[in-house]
Amino acid sequence: MTVDYRANDPATGRTVVLTVPSEEVPDNPLVLARFYREARAAGALQHPNIIAIYDLGVDRGAPFITSELLEGSTLEQILEVEKQKGGLGPQESPIVLSYVLQASKGLAYAHQSGILHRDIRPGTIFVTKTGIAKLTNFALARLPHTSSLSTGALAGNMAYMSPEVMCGDRIDLSADIWAMGCTLYESLTFTKPFHGETLTQWMFAIMSQEPRRLMEMRPDLPADLEEVVHRAIKKDRNERYKKMEKMVAELEPIVLRLLTEAPPA
C-alpha cells in the first residue's frame, strides 16, 4: 500500500526513508487512514527501540512520511537464517532473546503513552546492523484519543491474535502482551505456539488448544524463562501480565544471566 524511497533531507543532511502511498491506492480512505495513523503513533514516541518518525506532510497533494533509515534485518529474517543453520545454540539464544527484550521495552514505552500497537510479530521487529531492535509498522496502532477497550474488526496477523481479539471482545494492552509472548515463543522454537491451515483451525487452536511447553522443545533453557513465555500467552487475559513493564522486569534478568553464561564465540 506504500512505497519507500531512500532519500536525503536537505534541511539536516541526513539520509532518511521517504514513504508515500502507492499510486494504485491514492484515494483509498483506509490506506490513507493507516498511513497517517502510523506517522502519528510512532511520531509521538521517542524511544531507542521504536523507529523514529521525523516528519509528516503533504507535497503537491501527495502525503509523505520521513523516518529513520534502518539497515539490517527483521527478526523474522534472522530467525529464518538461524533455522537454516540448524537452530539456536547457547551462543545464539541469548542474543535473539535480547532482541525480543529490546522490542518489549519499546512496547512498554508505547503502552505508557497510551498506544496499542496491534501488529506485534517477528516481521515488525527490526534489528539494525549494530544489534539494536526497533518496533516498526504502527499502521494498525490505536491512539490515545480512541478507546482502547472498544471492540472492532479483526486487524493484524492471525497467528499473533489473542483469544479476545479473535472472538471480537474488547481489546486492550494485553493483546499486545499476548503477541509479544507468541513472538518470544517463536524466537526460541522456530514454531508458532498455535497452528492452523484455515481461519477456523486458527481460531480453534487459539481459543481451545494449549501450546507445547517450551521446556519440551528447548530443555536447555531455564525454567524461569518458560514461566515468562507461558504467562504471556495465557488464554485468560487476567492471568497474563497486567503491564508490559512487568514482563520486561521478569525477562531482563534472565536474558542478562544467559548472556553472561553464554560461551565465547
Query: Which residue segments constitute the domains of the chain, with CATH numbers given?
Result: 2-68 (3.30.200.20), 72-261 (1.10.510.10)
Neighbour tally for 87: CB within 10 Å? 13
Give the span between the Cα atoms of 136 and 74, in whole angstroms: 10
Neighbour tally for 128: CB within 10 Å? 14
For 77, the grid coordinates are 529474517
Contact 68, 52 (CB under 8 A): yes
Closest CA to 210 of 232, 233, 187, 180: 233
**Residue 149 confidence (pLDDT):** 44
**Residue 150 confidence (pLDDT):** 45
DSSP string, 3-22: EEEEEE-TTT--EEEEEEE-
**Residue 151 confidence (pLDDT):** 46
- SS3 state of residue 135: strand
To which residue does cell 534472522 refer? 78
Q: Which helix (H) or strand (E) holds 178?
A: helix 174-189
**Residue 164 confidence (pLDDT):** 92
Q: pLDDT 10s digit of each residue in the chain, 265 long?
A: 778 999 998 888 999 999 888 876 656 777 777 777 778 888 889 999 999 999 888 888 788 889 999 999 999 999 999 999 888 877 899 999 999 999 999 999 999 999 999 999 999 999 999 999 999 988 788 876 554 444 445 566 888 999 998 888 888 999 999 999 999 999 999 999 998 888 889 889 999 999 999 999 999 999 999 999 999 999 999 999 999 999 999 999 999 999 998 877 6
Contacts of 109 (CB under 8 A, 6+ apart): 45, 47, 49, 50
**Residue 119 confidence (pLDDT):** 93
CA distances from 188 to 99, 113, 225 (A): 12, 29, 10
Q: Which helix (H) or strand (E) holds 84?
A: helix 75-84
